[in-house]
Structure 1
Amino acid sequence: MASTESTAGRQGWDAGVPRLAVALLLFVTLIWGSSFLVIKTALEVSGPLFFQGLRYAFAALALGLVAAPRFGRLTRLELGIGVLTGFAVALANGLQALGLESISSSKAAFLTALYIPLVPLAQLVFLRDRPGLVAWIGIAMAFAGSVLLAGPGVDGFDLGRGEVMTIACAAVIAVEIVVIGAFAARVDSRRVSWVQLVVIAVVTFAAMPLNGEGVPGASLTLFLCAGGLGLGSVVIHVAMYWAQRRLSPTRATLIYATEPVWAGIIGRIAGDRLGTGGFVGAALIVASVGLAALRRAGGAADGKSPAPPDR
């Protein structure tokens, strides 16, 4: 009797695991979507580079406490990939934060999501892997969406400094994904992530004088925003690692594609307004992201979906 109850309990748990994995990944995308507004709030009391450096210093410390036993087996390849991608993500996050100084959090979220349809272009440039028809359609939709989203209203289109910075951020993220993808099977993701986080923090702090930034005064808002996103990065890493082993690549990647939707909803609640052209542009970008997500998931040969980088 006890054995039967135990078996039934395990079966009930197993049946609920996919739903829990889906809920966890939706929570991950919700955190990503809200991060744009959190960064926007933090920039009211801090320079963009100091905030990003502090955020990733918190994240590196937290992940170090969680995954320290693994670090003794760090390889040269993992160190090299972590340093290289750390520089790339530091550049991307710096561009994103600078862009958020002059555009809304919703617009930044949708433009940052361009990294997904831009991945095929990065593969073409660095790996000589020609995109197929579906990829080109997604790229065209993403380009049209970004043009519409950049328009301030009925007066015309204006690709300003904030938009340019954010699109450049998306391009750097796309290149970083291609680099990680080329070596993913040969490295431990947690060790590479920790090296990456440390490099991001160091590089971002070191770049502050180039942007004319000083250290801001003590602020509870700054501490909560940086600490919250930093700890959130570790929670996201652990949640993604657990959930992706229990979901198909297609389902996981399509869940990731909802990130800009969450950001748009949160931005709307906070008072962001995109206008008709911006709304149509955002819809085109989301459609291109979904198209690219299906393409990437369908091409995953190892049964694991390609996870977006921490942002």
Structure 2
Amino acid sequence: MSDARKSDALLVVVTLLAAISWMFSKEAVLLMPPLLFMAARFLTAGGILALVALPALKRLTFDQARRALGVGLVFGIAMSCWVLGLFYSESLGEGAFLTSLGVVIVPIIARVIFKERQPMSTWLAIPIAVAGLALLSLENGFRPALGQLYFVAAACIFALYFNLNTRAANQRTVTDRRGNVIDKARVPTLPLTSLALLTVGLVTLSGSAISEPWLPTLNNLQPMMFVWVLASAVVGTAGRFLLQTYAQSLSAQSHGVVIL
């Protein structure tokens, strides 16, 4: 099996893990503030992966670490918008549709911002994917609301994150302003994922500390809250995004995002 086909197959598994993660997250935000949940989820997942990736983390160059942290920063902003959309939205179907549009936007971002050519099959698949997502998700029509605006913002930022993650996970050559050709070493999958997830955790923790009350949650800790956080961290975050980053490292082409 070629790397491109293997990448596509792994992204199918990532899609299934994402669906499971949605259910965990929806249950968790009923028991605790959304950004605090995201902070706990991503710091736990990132911490687990960082322990495993410690030797590889020590070998990263400054440029590799900077790019991994940049991926995490963009991802953190996207996840903050997403969980706020989840918190304010009454319809999971509409939220799923709008968030899924992010992966459809990925080839557009790649072409417009990074000047990457996309295969014709990708452009043909985009309208089909949008129509399919709409039919699957919008049973009762689309009703714009605050939650949906957060989902739209998340979708656009997710598209940028996916491109940055793909570029960080693959060896590539760039030309600087002086015309010099520079080789950009790929960031290995495990340290890239762990640094990105830890950065997301810090971004959402900062947002939570500024905007959310913690005392009601701390004074009323429930066992199921820990279950949902741990399930989200291990299955829906560490496993899912490690697998996704590995899949992206197998192919620099972004047509595989249509699978998501």
- How high is the TM-score relative to the length of structure 1? 0.63
Say which is worse superposed, 62-71 or 208-217, in terms of deviation. 208-217
Is 1:100 matched up with 2:124? Answer: no
Over residues 202-224 of structure 1, what are the superposed CA-to-partner deviations in whole Å (9 max), with x where a residue is unaligned? 11111114434435232222211
Instruction: Indicate the residue corresponding to 1:180 in structure 2.
Output: 165
- Note the 1:137-216 alignment, pairs <5 A: 137-141=124-128, 153=140, 157-183=142-168, 184-185=170-171, 186-215=186-215, 216=217
Root mean square deviation, CA, Å: 3.6
2:102–2:156 Cα contact (<8 Å) kept: yes
C-alpha deviation, 1:73, in angstroms: 0.3
1:55–1:230 Cα contact (<8 Å) kept: yes
Question: Which structure 1 residue ranges, 5 or more long, are not aligned?
Answer: 1-17, 250-292, 298-304
Instruction: Indicate the residue corresponding to 2:24 in structure 1.
Output: 38
2:97–2:137 Cα contact (<8 Å) kept: no
C-alpha deviation, 1:234, in angstroms: 2.9
Write the letter of the residue equivalent to 2:233.
G
1:150–1:163 Cα contact (<8 Å) kept: no
Instruction: Indicate the residue corresponding to 1:296 in structure 2.
Output: 255
- How high is the TM-score relative to the length of structure 2? 0.74
Instruction: Indicate the residue corresponding to 2:238 in structure 1.
Output: 234
SS at 2:31 equivalent: coil
C-alpha deviation, 1:201, in angstroms: 1.0
Write the letter of the residue equivalent to 2:107.
P
Partners of 1:194 and 1:307 in 2: how far apart?
A: 24
Is 1:123 matched up with 2:110? Answer: yes
Instruction: Indicate the residue corresponding to 1:275 in structure 2.
Output: none
2:102–2:155 Cα contact (<8 Å) kept: yes
Partners of 1:131 and 1:26 in 2: how far apart?
A: 20
C-alpha deviation, 1:104, in angstroms: 2.9
C-alpha deviation, 1:146, in angstroms: 7.1
Question: Which structure 2 residue ranges, 5 or more long, are not aligned?
Answer: 172-185
1:78–1:188 Cα contact (<8 Å) kept: no
Instruction: Indicate the residue corresponding to 2:176 in structure 1.
Output: none
Partners of 1:204 and 1:57 in 2: how far apart?
A: 10
C-alpha deviation, 1:107, in angstroms: 3.2
Distance 1:57 1:125, change over 3 A: same
Partners of 1:306 and 1:62 in 2: how far apart?
A: 29
Instruction: Indicate the residue corresponding to 1:224 in structure 2.
Output: 227
1:49–1:205 Cα contact (<8 Å) kept: yes
1:58 is aligned, of 44, 47, 52, to 44
1:77–1:187 Cα contact (<8 Å) kept: no
2:64 is aligned, of 52, 68, 78, to 78
Distance 1:238 1:166, change over 3 A: closer
How many residues align? The count is 234
1:107–1:149 Cα contact (<8 Å) kept: no
C-alpha deviation, 1:129, in angstroms: 3.7
Over residues 45-83 of structure 1, what are the superposed CA-to-partner deviations in whole Å (9 max), with x where a residue is unaligned? 111100000001110121122222212102112211122
SS at 1:114 equivalent: helix
Write the letter of the residue equivalent to 1:84.
G
Distance 1:84 1:239, change over 3 A: closer
Over residues 121-179 of structure 1, what are the superposed CA-to-partner deviations in whole Å (9 max), with x where a residue is unaligned? 211331134656554444445566677788673xx742222222112212111111222
The structure showing larger relative contact order (alpha-carbon pairs under 8 Å, at least 6 residues apart) is: 2
C-alpha deviation, 1:115, in angstroms: 1.9
